Structure 1
Amino acid sequence: AGFRLLGGVYVAIPPTDGGRLPSEQLGLELGIHEDQLRWFTESGELIPLPEEAECQRAEQEHQRAEQAEQQLQQVQEQQQALLEKLRSLSPAQRQALGLDGPQ
């Protein structure tokens, strides 16, 4: 149980529906997560520890890098397909498209 000092008297802080103790001063709630005392937002979201936040950041960066690599591969494949298509054009088609200088 938690207590708050009001007018020189300690008054019990009732737990939230989730069983956590709210802190009006911090706008957070104190509760148990995996046998550890942890902070939660008022909406019940667990606030990550610094090492957890770093791990999440690293995972997000890894996912962004994978996405960028996939996009690069797609662009390279499209570029290769276009080059092959251009190479298959006849000289007259290339000239009509303005790809070859005047002959």
Structure 2
Amino acid sequence: MESELTALMENHTWDVVPLPPHRKPIGCKWVYKIKFKSDGSIERYKARLVAKGFTQREGFDYHETFSPVAKEVTVRSFLFIATIRNWSLHQMDVHNAILHGDLDEEIYIDLP
């Protein structure tokens, strides 16, 4: 939880402001997961703060949704091209990728 909160604060994910009249904040909750190694032992504990977005109303709280996801055929094609062209490949994990987007709307959320 500490690393998640630290990342949220370092990325200036939110500003604490008074709630304007006639606005209802979105709730949030902590989601916990245990990640296991292949032998069944515990690798690490994970915690994510998630917004309860199901309470939002289209046209009032948001106008469109977008979730960039690469299709498997695209990834396979890229790997094929990289292989035949002898490109070097590297893997990386992006933590808190959702924090790198910009919102056009003002969204109010309860503090965790």
- TM tier relative to shorter chain: under 0.3
- Normalising to structure 1: TM-score of the pair? 0.25
Q: Which structure would you say has the larger Rg?
A: 1
Q: Which one scores higher on RCO, CA 8 angstroms, separation ≥ 6?
A: 2
TM-score by length of 2: 0.23
Which of the two has greater strand per residue?
Answer: 1
Bigger helix share: 1
